[in-house]
Structure 1
Amino acid sequence: MSATLFKNATIVDPTSEHHLKKRDVLIEKGRIKKIANTISNPKAKEIKLKNLHISQGWFDSSVCFGEPGYEDRETIHNGLKTAASSGFTAIALNGLTLPVVDSKSGIQYIKAKSAGNAVNVYPVGALTVQALGKDLAELFDMKSEGAVSFYDYQLPIENANLLKIALQYTQNFKGLVQSFPMDPSIARKGLVNEEINSTKLGLRGIPALSEELQITRDLYLLEYTGGSLHIPTISTKKSVQLIKDAKKKGLDVSCSVSINNLCLTDDELHSFDTNFKLLPPLRTEKDVKALLKGLKEGIIDGVTSNHDPRIIEDKITEFDHAAFGSIGLESCFGALNQATNLETTVNALNGLKNRFGIETHSITEGSKADLTLFNPDGVMQYSEEHSMATSKNAAMLGKTLKGNVYGIVNNNKLVLND
């Protein structure tokens, strides 16, 4: 990347003295060389973009691609192009692959395939061997190789003693354990949120209780063992309160919310569109309001796209037989920015960096240039034409999004959307 000068950019970074001020920003050799009201540098490539805003590069804590094994869903190469165009300079990549990423060699593969990219990839290793929930995987070896967390993606840990041992063992090397919040004995073969809509539509329900019971169990275990626990993608009003109470107790717990659960309700199910078949399921309006409030108050630590590509055969079928999941990288910013204010949006897209051990870079002179470039204004209707992802199973199709991403700067690379 040659020297680049961004003109008249609004900086959105509470850690910077330039927060919410318009500045010229000069980037040289991958670092922020100068920030000033006006910079003149004829040797630099000058970039002027309408209503340009710059923030610290965004991080997504829950992304799936497919490679190795499910390349028809998404490859690492194209997935990272999609992430970059969506404004993310870093992602935590789940091991929803074949084979499951449950060993040192699996972490090495992910790192090798993603090396040299503008987007930093942080592998998430499976918590148990083959994600079967029976025996702990090679947690220390994976951590030593670069795994930032351990998670059997969207698979509940049924064995409470297994989670207890995991929380105890990972304290030795500061590992972060994730536990999907769903009690399978309550959820059983449910498809959608158990509420009035599921009854009207004749669809088997997943009660909010299944999530809240599991979270309650996990928090009791955490209080007993110590350790670090991350609860991904909470979706109910009661879950927010449970996390709030646990944090007040001083427990080392964090949580995220999926952009889908933050912006959509189970009213969408009347279309029987399988893109709305999600885990966790879409809940009610009161849940959405509580999640938004929890995000603004800092109880919820961050928002994830919960990007989960599925091939067309998995979605164009009867609702009962369709796979759970939606892509979300490309619509995440616009949907979040539509649902809340700009500063909450940017904070939510950076809120889990420290939790996952990812270095942050303030927008100050001398810092590494790890930046997202965007315009927070204007509206668009999201369609397949806006997607470069291989799979098109997007819950946000047809929804109104606010703002657009211009691109990213990271690892001495500039990626700009056309």
Structure 2
Amino acid sequence: MKILIKSATVVQPESKYHQQKVDILLDNGKIEKIDKSIAAKADQTIEKENLHLSLGWFDSSVCFGEPGYEERETLDNGLKTAAKSGFTSIALNPTGNPIADQSTSIKFLKSHSGEYGVEVHPVGALTVKSESVDLAELFDMKNSGTVSFSDYKKPIKNPNLLKIALQYAQNFDGLVQSFPQENAIARNGCAHEDYQSTQLGLKGIPALAEELQITRDLFILEYTGGKLHIPTISTEKSVQLIKEAKKKGLDVSCSVAIHQLVFTDEKLQNFDANYKVLPPLRTSKDAKGLIKGLKDGVIDMVTTDHCPIDIEEKKVEFENAAYGTIGLETAFGALQKIFSTEKAIELLTKGRERFGLNTSVLEEGAQADFTLFNPEEKYTFTKNDILSTSKNSMFLETELKGKVYGIIANLKFTEA
């Protein structure tokens, strides 16, 4: 099948076509020709207003429901949502039932790769049933296709367990994740501990809970060596701790959830449970520190931290509501409220290398792995824009900038 893309502005600094407007002819998923103008017969021609094209986007932290919680999100609809939101690759967290803590679970998730053009990269559970007691079958899962190991939002309570995991994973270049929260400090808090939580009468999770855990983990990493990823940091001081660790030469990376850059704990005034996330929304000072961390390159990547939650677990008292927000659909439009288009694309693709994904450059003969978008279109995000089964988005009624047209990857064109 031949596809002809007309008048697309390339956003890929590594490519010689960066910021040029070109036509691209694809033949069975491979780039046959790139030129200023191509007149050729094609099975499909793609022409869009203000069409831009970049390397396919990657999200390092995505949750669906299946297996076990299909009412939240199925793999089929989740991958369709990812594709229509511009993502050609996702790292899928072990949040199903059963937990993906062995090779058979990883193979099941990998079997869905390529649906709607989206490549599924499973994250295997670090410990058996994510109970933070015994290490899971890390080597077997690595051989089956897992890209990292994590218990998602469950902190590693036993420091010796993290030590052993980092040491063991070095034998096969495994990437270990550690969620940055000390539960003995966080306890049963549900909001950032500060003025807002006090005023609203909500139990707080102090920034100390995150920063203490990060300090512990970095000390362990310095002792063991290995590769550590700290997902979804949320405080200004966390950025500084990781910056100092990188200066020491430690092999550490980190991410931040996009909603932490856009919203603060002031949004809790109406007790809307869509704003209940973990780590909690912090202060404007923290948000500014996180944005600076991205600009300085200390924070390696952004994530949607996409987490579908069905309405029964959100339409309850704030303290009893489940944590999580969906974010795939709003990722690009939200980032462009803060960064330039080029920076936004960099942040949406930068995590690929850390998670061991292939990064192709736009050139003739290469396999197509594109995201197509219009960076200028402004709109207000409403329920009609939600593609996920669950509707728990904190971006509702937020003005966004930038619309996705679709993706071309894995021999498929999925249109938004």
The TM-score range, normalised by the shorter chain, is over 0.9
Q: Which residue of 2 aligns with 1:88?
A: 87
CA distance in 1, matches of 2:104, 2:4: 41
CA distance in 2, matches of 1:116, 1:13: 25
Unpaired stretches in structure 2, ≥5 consecutive residues: none
Q: Which residue of 1 aligns with 2:387?
A: 388
Bigger drift between 34-43 and 274-283 goes to 34-43
**Contact 1:77/1:114 (<8 A) preserved:** no
CA distance in 2, matches of 1:411, 1:300: 29
Q: Deviations over 1:299-320 (max 9, x none)?
A: 1111100000001000000001
**What SS does the aligned partner of 2:379 have?**
strand
Q: Which residue of 2 aligns with 1:327?
A: 326
Amino acid at match of 1:239: S
Q: Which residue of 2 aligns with 1:120?
A: 119
Amino acid at match of 1:272: F
Unpaired stretches in structure 1, ≥5 consecutive residues: none
Equivalent runs, 1:60-139 vs 2, <5 Å: 60-114=59-113, 116-139=115-138
**Compared with structure 1, are the counterparts of its residues 113 and 34 closer, same or farther at alpha carbon in structure 2 (3 Å cutoff)?**
closer
**What SS does the aligned partner of 2:330 have?**
helix
Amino acid at match of 1:41: A
Q: Deviations over 1:144-175 (max 9, x none)?
A: 10010000010010100000000000000000
**What SS does the aligned partner of 2:292 have?**
helix
**What SS does the aligned partner of 1:89 have?**
strand
Amino acid at match of 2:106: I
Q: Give the drift of 1:7.
A: 1.1
CA distance in 2, matches of 1:373, 1:133: 41
CA distance in 1, matches of 2:296, 2:59: 20
Q: Deviations over 1:201-240 (max 9, x none)?
A: 1111101111001001000000000000000000100011
| Coordinate RMSD, CA, aligned | 0.9
Amino acid at match of 1:251: L
Q: Give the drift of 1:400.
A: 1.0
**Contact 2:306/2:328 (<8 A) preserved:** yes
CA distance in 2, matches of 1:59, 1:42: 32
**What SS does the aligned partner of 2:320 have?**
coil
**What SS does the aligned partner of 1:354 have?**
helix
CA distance in 2, matches of 1:336, 1:129: 36
Q: Give the drift of 1:42.
A: 2.6
Equivalent runs, 1:308-319 vs 2, <5 Å: 308-319=307-318
Q: Which residue of 1 aligns with 2:289?
A: 290
Q: Give the drift of 1:41.
A: 0.7
**Contact 1:61/1:92 (<8 A) preserved:** yes
Q: Which residue of 1 aligns with 2:299?
A: 300
The TM-score with structure 1 as length reference comes to 0.98
**Contact 1:89/1:370 (<8 A) preserved:** yes
CA distance in 1, matches of 2:249, 2:387: 43
The TM-score with structure 2 as length reference comes to 0.99
CA distance in 2, matches of 1:114, 1:230: 24
**What SS does the aligned partner of 2:407 have?**
strand
**Contact 2:112/2:120 (<8 A) preserved:** no
CA distance in 2, matches of 1:58, 1:385: 23
CA distance in 1, matches of 2:50, 2:299: 29
Q: Which residue of 1 aligns with 2:403?
A: 404
Q: Which residue of 2 aligns with 1:34?
A: 33
Q: Deviations over 1:27-69 (max 9, x none)?
A: 1110111111111113352221000000000000000001110
Q: Deviations over 1:110-160 (max 9, x none)?
A: 112445541000000000000000000000000010010000010010100
Equivalent runs, 1:16-415 vs 2, <5 Å: 16-114=15-113, 116-415=115-414
Q: Deviations over 1:46-104 (max 9, x none)?
A: 22100000000000000000111001100000000000000000000001011110001
**Contact 2:190/2:280 (<8 A) preserved:** yes
**What SS does the aligned partner of 1:339 have?**
coil
Q: Give the drift of 1:25.
A: 1.3
CA distance in 2, matches of 1:135, 1:56: 39
Query: Percent identity among equivalent residues?
Result: 57
Bigger drift between 338-347 and 74-83 goes to 338-347
**What SS does the aligned partner of 2:53 have?**
strand
CA distance in 2, matches of 1:115, 1:49: 24
Amino acid at match of 1:209: L
**Contact 1:327/1:392 (<8 A) preserved:** yes
Q: Deviations over 1:338-372 (max 9, x none)?
A: 12111110010011101100001111111110000
Q: Give the drift of 1:263.
A: 1.0
CA distance in 1, matches of 2:80, 2:333: 18
CA distance in 1, matches of 2:325, 2:371: 23
**Contact 1:76/1:114 (<8 A) preserved:** no
Q: Give the drift of 1:198.
A: 0.6
**Contact 2:183/2:209 (<8 A) preserved:** yes
**What SS does the aligned partner of 2:404 have?**
strand
CA distance in 2, matches of 1:7, 1:334: 23
Q: How many residues align?
A: 416
**What SS does the aligned partner of 1:330 have?**
coil
**What SS does the aligned partner of 2:351 have?**
coil
**Contact 2:239/2:289 (<8 A) preserved:** yes
Amino acid at match of 1:35: I
CA distance in 1, matches of 2:335, 2:240: 22
